[in-house]
Chain A
Amino acid sequence: MTLADAKPQSATQSSPQALNFECETGNYHTFCPISCVAWLYQKIEDSFFLVIGTKTCGYFLQNAMGVMIFAEPRYAMAELEEGDISAQLNDYEELKRLCTQIKRDRNPSVIVWIGTCTTEIIKMDLEGLAPRLESEIGVPIVVARANGLDYAFTQGEDTVLAAMAHRCPKKVESEAEKEERNAIQKLLSFGNKKETAAPESEYVDHPPLVLFGSLPDPVVTQLTLELKKQGIKVSGWLPSKRYTELPVIEEGYYVAGVNPFLSRTATTMMRRRKCKLIGAPFPIGPDGTRAWIEKMCSVFGIEPKGLEEREAAIWESVEDYVQLIRGKSVFFMGDNLLEVSMARFLIRCGMTVPEIGIPYMDKRYQGAELKFLEQTCHEMGVPLPKIVEKPDNYNQIQRIYELEPDLVITGMAHANPLEARGINTKWSVEFTFAQIHGFTNTRDILELVTRPLRRNSNLKDLGWDKLVRETANV
């Protein structure tokens, strides 16, 4: 029996109450949002990310990004010195010197300035300086204020993409340019050159659709193909592989997000670019992917084909992993905003979730996902989780001791100490770097989720569960 068959088992008996939202002190551990440069510079191949901040920022990036720092990254710190803070040095001149050097050494198509806490506090007018410098050195400069005063971890990407959304061209000027902007289509038809003969007929006639959210290229291809199967054409993707290939966005285009942390980008798309946002659950897990595609189809008036079978087949193929976690509980401490989607998927796998910690909850942007979470809980007959915004890690740990969950998804600061106390943990950051979107990557998520359980079941007969002295626990 697969999960797909098992769905409606006890749908009515579960408590019908709505999701419970709480907000704590915000004393939690997460990555600084400037960490987004690490995956964005790799995604946008012709970019250069300049983080304007202090040694603290640099130290974080250097240590958090580990080996990547040695691969001659296309990112650097503009390290502020005392003279910059006290305005003895001229911001404009300093940035000009650095950006000229970057242009000379790397010749990027865009320089992204990442504003930090320090530039906020000293009120460095990056948005004002950028256009001047841009015209002077001839390289586009995009400003994103991804700082720890306002944002957490993945929200860094949101600020960068929101800034990039302004740079998406309005109209295709020439056919040649259109050709160039059609990179995704070219990528898909690779090795199938004659396909251009009958391209349009494969798609239903619908208004242009642009997706937003940075994903590894293989995942971009997978999701684009999934939509193609339904006759939906993806006209562009923000971000694209290159800055010069940013998608055209015109008024009335449809847009949809692939990640739950992109609320600013969504807002920008709607308000500034006059696009229509398709609010859907996010394509994480086979249930999420199906719901995501179905929503697109319904917006464009398409009857979805073969999705139910597709989802069932995926569930069947991962049954060995699902068995390991069915009936177990998972606690999300919260640090990357993927928590709601992940929890919804794991509940569908048969897990229970007492608490979903999350740095920031946009109930509008995540509306469809929240509704889907509720529905999933009802269908699986499990209690609705408590959603804790801005959690307090200290309180959470007390709750974890009380609840004794089978798995805690948490940051590295707490992982080892919890393991030493006999509590299974999975490092949350891995979910941001692993491929977790679409039908195809279901196994990858479960591989991550079940790893601590598989490891610890290998060791369980050794009697070494608790590796701290009781007294040391006070």
Chain B
Amino acid sequence: MKLAYWMYAGPAHIGTLRVASSFKNVHAIMHAPLGDDYFNVMRSMLERERDYTPVTASVVDRNVLARGSQEKVVNNIVRKDHEEQPDLIVLTPTCTSSILQEDLANFVERAQLDANGDVLLADVNHYRVNELQAADRTLHQIVQFYTEKARKKGELPEGKSEKPSVNIIGVSTLGFHNQHDATELKRLMADLGIEVNAVIPEGASVHELKNLSRAWFNLVPYRELGLMAANYLKDEFGMPFVDITPMGVVETARCIRAIQSILNKQGVDVDYDTFIDEQTRFISQAAWFSRSIDCQNLTGKKAVVFGDNTHASAITKILSREMGIHVVLAGTYCKYDADWFRKEVSEYCDEVLISNDHGEIGDAIARLEPSAIFGTQMERHLGKRLDIPCGVIAAPIHIQNFPVGYRPYLGYEGANQVVDLVYNSFTLGMEDHLLEIFGGHDTKEVITKGMSADSDLSWSKDGLAELNRIPGFVRGKVKRNTEKFARERGFTEISAEVLYAAKEAVGA
């Protein structure tokens, strides 16, 4: 048992539902008790989805506990098949069905006899995988299912598309800015003269899946979702894939060069260097931004980055390599893929943190006192409590992270967006401090930046007055250093003298 207040990645079935409901005309049926269909609320609210979320529950209640689901699951599948005529129904196990150990595979087989559409059992175990891993598996499973089905029927297309083409794999519903990223990637491919063969799973029909092999290569923009499918396609059809996330100017260029080398190997003579140069220097504003004096002011400022593998690693590289910001800590909650993360970021930050305990991250932030945080909604709230600005770069997210306006994180426009995000976070912080220096909020209490605000030491009146004269952005640090000094010397009360003695002793 684990005492938990907050989790970064959701339970496995959420991942399966994200993939299933991303496809067009695919319905998911959860084998779950009443109330577990909360996914529908999230999708309807966060994505502001106009259509009914194609997810229903085959409700597990007392009767099911006593007698097993019996015909119930089968009937629910067949009923949904008749009502909505989906191409595919994905039976989704939950934590409850994991322990009931009913033979769901058998239900699927039986339902398949009466259903017009296809029926699949999502192969995910609640206790072994989380949301992200489950999404990756489910996508792989569906791709594999339709590839094999087409092969059996002899419907697999021969050969490649006429012009160079790509499958973009891993764009899904409730993914962080996924919709905008997909648009930006399609635009980028068009600029490179590459046709988009398919984007999966978001908006795709399962009937398109048999044509995946017609693309010349696959692009997997996110580390968390799509790699299993890409690897499968590589094994089956020898399709190469690019798994460099085109986030930030440098990585986008790297991604494009990888595409170039794949195409060159397949006998197409393309040279994207002029395109990259033109985009980098003149179209995108990001490279020019890092050169401008605004960005100069950010040099050496401390930042903490935390998120999923894709976003945390890319942002860390952007901050450190493209903006000269000092990343004191980069972290991820994707514990299952920690080695990859460590390898990606270790040369761009002082410290790497692999954890899914928000308390641990909170304590690290309090200790490091960065000028800005780039994290999830949780870090945003930690930042609020500690008075540190935060830009949200990864899920878990809420409705604010589903902007209506165009906000990709990938490609050259994405680089512009990241610049704005980073710059706005830092300037807002500076503004706040300037206000304080010039007496904007002189009634404010002393800021403590520790997660636990209590201290065993008391401050005398004059000590406190002195402390309050110290500019806000260093006050917390001075306070803590002074208290540390006082504790070491055995002072119980801190007066102005002690404060200055501490300053001399430790340079606080």
Among B43-51, B227-235, B492-500, the one that faces the other chain is B43-51
Q: Is B404 an interface residue (CB 8 A)?
A: no
Pair B95/A55 contact, Cβ less than 8 Å: yes
Among A28-36, A176-184, A197-205, A338-346, the one that faces the other chain is A28-36
Pair A417/B49 contact, Cβ less than 8 Å: yes
Pair B95/A54 contact, Cβ less than 8 Å: yes
CB distance from B312 to the nearest CB of A (A): 20
Give the residue name and chain of the B residue nearest to A468 (CB): B50
CB distance from A77 to the nearest CB of B (A): 5
Pair A59/B11 contact, Cβ less than 8 Å: yes
Query: Which of B10, B33, B49, B128 contacts A59, CB < 8 Å?
Result: B10
**Residue of B35, B45, B65, B381 with highest tally of chain A CB at under 10 A:** B35
Give the residue name and chain of the A residue nearest to B127 (CB): A82
Q: Is B112 an interface residue (CB 8 A)?
A: no
Query: Which of B10, B35, B38, B83 contacts A152, CB < 8 Å?
Result: B35
- 1/0 per residue, CB under 8 A from B, across A50-85: the answer is 001011101110111010011001001111111011
Pair B45/A79 contact, Cβ less than 8 Å: no
How big is chain B's contact interface, by range?
35 or more
CB distance from B370 to the nearest CB of A (A): 19
CB contacts under 8 Å to B, within A432-474, are 467-468, 472
Q: Is B295 an interface residue (CB 8 A)?
A: no
Interface size for A (C-beta < 8 A) is: 64
Give the residue name and chain of the A residue nearest to B14 (CB): A59
Residues from chain B with a CB closer than 8 A to the CB of A60 are: 35-36, 38
Pair B62/A149 contact, Cβ less than 8 Å: yes
Q: Is B424 an interface residue (CB 8 A)?
A: no
Pair A33/B35 contact, Cβ less than 8 Å: yes
Query: Which of B3, B10, B11 contacts A76, CB < 8 Å?
Result: B3
Among A1-9, A94-102, A265-273, A317-325, the one that faces the other chain is A94-102
Residues from chain B with a CB closer than 8 A to the CB of A151 are: 34
Give the residue name and chain of the A residue nearest to B130 (CB): A55
Q: Is B1 an interface residue (CB 8 A)?
A: yes
Question: Given the known A-B contacts A120-B65, A412-B45, are A56 and B2 also in contact in the complex, defined by CB atoms under 8 Å?
Answer: no
Residues from chain A with a CB closer than 8 A to the CB of B461 are: none
Residues from chain B with a CB closer than 8 A to the CB of A84 are: 1
Q: Is A147 an interface residue (CB 8 A)?
A: yes
Pair B34/A30 contact, Cβ less than 8 Å: yes
Interface residues of A (CB under 8 A from B): 26-34, 52, 54-56, 58-60, 62-64, 66, 69-70, 73, 76-82, 84-85, 89, 94-95, 97-98, 101-102, 117-118, 120-122, 147-153, 394, 397, 411-417, 420, 467-468, 472
22 sample A-B contacts, Cβ–Cβ < 8 Å, listed by A number: A27-B76, A29-B40, A32-B36, A33-B35, A54-B95, A55-B130, A58-B7, A60-B35, A62-B7, A69-B6, A76-B4, A79-B1, A98-B1, A117-B60, A121-B99, A121-B100, A150-B61, A412-B44, A416-B44, A416-B48, A417-B50, A420-B51
Query: What are the nearest 9 A-B pairs in CB distance?
Result: A32-B35, A148-B33, A413-B40, A420-B50, A94-B1, A55-B11, A54-B95, A148-B35, A70-B381
Given contacts A29-B37, A420-B51, 16 further A-B contacts (CB under 8 A): A27-B59, A30-B35, A31-B35, A56-B126, A59-B14, A63-B42, A78-B1, A80-B1, A117-B95, A121-B99, A149-B34, A150-B61, A150-B62, A413-B53, A416-B44, A417-B49
Interface residues of B (CB under 8 A from A): 1-7, 10-11, 13-14, 32-38, 40-42, 44-45, 48-53, 56-57, 59-62, 65, 76, 83, 94-96, 98-100, 126-128, 130, 378, 381, 396, 398
